[in-house]
Amino acid sequence: MLIGRDTCLGVVRARLERANASHGGLVLVTGEAGIGKTSLVRRAAREARELGMLALHGTCWNSEGTPGYWPWTQAIRSLRHGATGEEWARAATAAGGALPVLLGEGARSQEVDRFQLFDAVTSMLTGASQSRPVAVVLEDLHWADAASLGLLEFAAQHTWFERLLIIGTYRDVEVRRPDHPLQPLLEPLTAKATTIRLQGLTPGEVAELMARTAGSRPGAALADEVCRRTGGNPFFVEETARLWSAGQSVATIAPGVGAALHRRLALLGEPAVDLLGHAAVLGREFARGTLARTAGADEDRTGGLLREAARAGLVEPLETGRFIFTHDLVRESLYEALDAPRLRRVHAAAVRALLASGDVADPVRPTELARHAYFAGEELPADEAVDLLVGAARHAASRLADEEAVGHYRRALERLGTEASRRRLLLTLDLGLELQLIGEHERSWLAFEDATAQASALGDPALLGRVALTLYGADGRGDGTGLKPRVVREAHGLLVRGDAAGAGAVAAGAAPGAAAAGAAPAAAGAGALPGVVKEVARHVVAVARGAGDDDALHIGLWAGLHAVWEPTARSSACGTTR
């Protein structure tokens, strides 16, 4: 029974009944942390199942280690788990080649772009609703990645004429902050949704919740005081009631859940609190074995301490060997209590623990490793941290989660430092290409300009050639300085004619062709650029073959082929044939 939520539950129930009978929609449940959003939507999911609907669930996570589209991946997995064989086969057919990407279980298909991914998810859900109405619950959207919210907006447009209801929750107080990155994405969704904002409980409802939690009903004056101190937030009220039932005075409890949680944690032994601190670093959900390795503890001893924490209501067991914090605020409070040096040490220990687990098939593993590697700071060697961040970036790109990939590349470059190096240059190029995929064209060309300057500083003509060929294949939007043709011609000057001043002219921002004053006239016009690219590509391919550099070889061969099929190149070829 939900206390003080009859009206809100009635609204959700009406939308469920409408979706079950004819058409669906979007419902957004908002409110501060601990106000009862999760309790309301889980009750809604239970009632949806009682109506015969297929109830799907996904949760966002506040972590750099969360893969893009994570709430939707969970929802599709729950569709696979809850659907009949016939329903799942129909849904999988609707998804087509995007299904492995949706489930995070396969490599990126070059045939699947973002629109196709959005359409595949929507087609799966609407297709499933043809045989059985569907309710999708997506929790904690304030922690969602931008791509997941884009998919939500896309899917919500197709719910009205389908028996499909999507219910989302988020903390509106956080999203209203002007610096919140998802504000421009979440707020427009409210125009398409029925929005339910949960408020604090009344003093009478606080008294009822305290009686249920503590087993003893407080007097009216005490309930009034607790209501005033907690704002009627159900989670805060429950924490206060537990401390009150343990014999502590309500008057001594500081406002806010942080103080209440610290008092409650003090009821545990120090080893259990220390272990929970390690668990907080791992995330809201964690495996017992991974936690034991991170903390350097015996697994049986770890299991005993987790049972102690479960009895205190701080964690709950899931499937075999896995646990979850009962509330995000529990984990956040534990995490914030760790000082910076210890946080770095525990993050580094988490990297070693996850690598030792050997569960390479886990689709979340690359992003988990990247998060811990980044926050481990100097506790982890820079090369190892960068390897893990780059691996996560490429894994994200394989799942079309390009915003996530950009974040990993930025953090890898940050960890490398500012000194020019071959690796830093190549990662800067990768960052530029990913920025183009998310439409950040001007920023992509800033990255390409940085890569060009690094190539000049390194003084490697073949590397400048690789930069030139990468830029030649890039989208020219945002190239406000004519960097693409300039770098191509300067690379041509260095590789083909051996101009000593080529790289320096690029670094100084010389006009296109300025360093190649003695170049043949054919190289001066824009129409000759494909021919220049072919010559640069031949030299890059030759160097790559000699060095065994497969990546550079691929770029050189592709650029040469692209130049051959450039419209001006085709016209020239046709004219010669005739």
The pLDDT-based confidence of 108 (bands split at 50, 70, 90) is: low
Question: Residues 222, 73: one domain?
Answer: no
Please give the pLDDT value at position 382: 94
d(C-alpha 89, C-alpha 289), whole Å: 35
Work out the number of other CB atoms within 10 angstroms of the CB of residue 482. Answer: 13
Question: Residues 68, 175: one domain?
Answer: yes
Question: Residues 96, 244: one domain?
Answer: no
Taking only the tens place, the pLDDT of each residue in 294-305 is 999 999 999 999
pLDDT, the chain, mean: 86
244 near 229, Cβ under 8 Å?
no
Residue 61 domain-assigned (yes or no): yes
Domain boundary among 252, 269, 284: 252
Question: Residues 232, 110: one domain?
Answer: no
Work out the number of other CB atoms within 10 angstroms of the CB of residue 355. Answer: 16
Taking only the tens place, the pLDDT of each residue in 15-53 is 999 999 999 999 999 998 889 999 999 999 999 999 999
The pLDDT-based confidence of 195 (bands split at 50, 70, 90) is: very high
d(C-alpha 514, C-alpha 499), whole Å: 11
Please give the pLDDT value at position 508: 47
Total domains, the chain: 3
**Percent of the chain residues past pLDDT 90, beyond the cut:** 61
75 pairs with which residues across the strands?
none
Residue 406 above 90 pLDDT? yes
Sign for the CA dihedral angle at 93, 94, 98, 101 comes to negative
d(C-alpha 29, C-alpha 167), whole Å: 7
Residue 288 domain-assigned (yes or no): no
Residue 435 domain-assigned (yes or no): yes
Question: Residues 228, 129: one domain?
Answer: no
Domain boundary among 178, 197, 216: 197
d(C-alpha 233, C-alpha 223), whole Å: 13
Segment among 253-262, 287-296, 342-351 with least mean pLDDT:
253-262
Residue 97 domain-assigned (yes or no): yes
The pLDDT-based confidence of 374 (bands split at 50, 70, 90) is: very high
d(C-alpha 355, C-alpha 365), whole Å: 9
Between residues 179 and 136, the one the model is more confident about: 136
d(C-alpha 411, C-alpha 404), whole Å: 11
Computed on alpha carbons and rounded to an integer, the radius of gyration of the chain in Å comes to 29
In terms of Cβ atoms closer than 10 Å to its own Cβ (0-12, 13-18, 19+), residue 394 is: middle
Question: Tokens representing 238?
Answer: 């429950």
d(C-alpha 50, C-alpha 65), whole Å: 35
Structural domain for 223, as ranges: 203-252
Segment among 173-177, 203-207, 324-328, 434-438 with least mean pLDDT:
173-177
Question: Residues 191, 241: one domain?
Answer: no
Question: Residues 18, 111: one domain?
Answer: yes
Work out the number of other CB atoms within 10 angstroms of the CB of residue 55. Answer: 23
194 pairs with which residues across the strands?
27
**Among 138, 161, 179, 134, CA closest to 42:** 138
**Among 68, 74, 58, 54, CA closest to 126:** 54
Question: Residues 172, 248: one domain?
Answer: no
The pLDDT-based confidence of 59 (bands split at 50, 70, 90) is: very high
Question: Tokens representing 316?
Answer: 């709950």
Please give the pLDDT value at position 278: 97
Q: Is 80 left (phi over 0), alpha (psi -120 to 50) or beta?
A: alpha
CATH code of the domain containing 86: 3.40.50.300
88 near 80, Cβ under 8 Å?
yes
Question: Residues 20, 137: one domain?
Answer: yes
Domain boundary among 197, 213, 237: 197
Please give the pLDDT value at position 570: 47
Residue 350 above 80 pLDDT? yes
Question: Residues 190, 213: one domain?
Answer: no
Contacts of 51 by beta carbon, 8 Å cutoff, 6+ apart: 16, 17, 20, 133
Label residues 291-324 b or e (16+ Cβ within 10 Å = b): bbbbbebeeeebbebbebbeebebbeeeeeeebe
**Percent of the chain residues past pLDDT 70, beyond the cut:** 87
170 pairs with which residues across the strands?
30
Q: What is the mean pLDDT of residues 460-485?
A: 94
Place of tokens 């481990």: 376
* pTM exceeding the 0.85 threshold for the entire prediction: no
d(C-alpha 315, C-alpha 537), whole Å: 58
d(C-alpha 261, C-alpha 252), whole Å: 13
Residue 578 domain-assigned (yes or no): no
Taking only the tens place, the pLDDT of each residue in 228-281 is 878 888 988 888 888 888 887 665 544 456 766 776 677 788 999 999 999 999
Please give the pLDDT value at position 256: 54
d(C-alpha 482, C-alpha 137), whole Å: 48
Residue 337 above 50 pLDDT? yes
The pLDDT-based confidence of 361 (bands split at 50, 70, 90) is: low
Please give the pLDDT value at position 530: 86
Residue 115 domain-assigned (yes or no): yes
Residue 164 domain-assigned (yes or no): yes
Residue 37 domain-assigned (yes or no): yes
Q: What is the mean pLDDT of residues 67-89?
A: 92
Question: Residues 157, 234: one domain?
Answer: no
d(C-alpha 144, C-alpha 167), whole Å: 14
Q: What is the mean pLDDT of residues 426-455?
A: 96
Q: What is the mean pLDDT of residues 185-206?
A: 90
Please give the pLDDT value at position 349: 97
Question: Tokens representing 383?
Answer: 């090369």
Which stretches within 51-181 are classed as H helix? 70-82, 85-95, 99-103, 114-131, 146-156, 172-175
The pLDDT-based confidence of 566 (bands split at 50, 70, 90) is: low
Question: Residues 116, 231: one domain?
Answer: no
Please give the pLDDT value at position 567: 60
Please give the pLDDT value at position 423: 95
Residue 524 above 50 pLDDT? no
Span between the terminal Cα atoms of the chain, in Å: 84
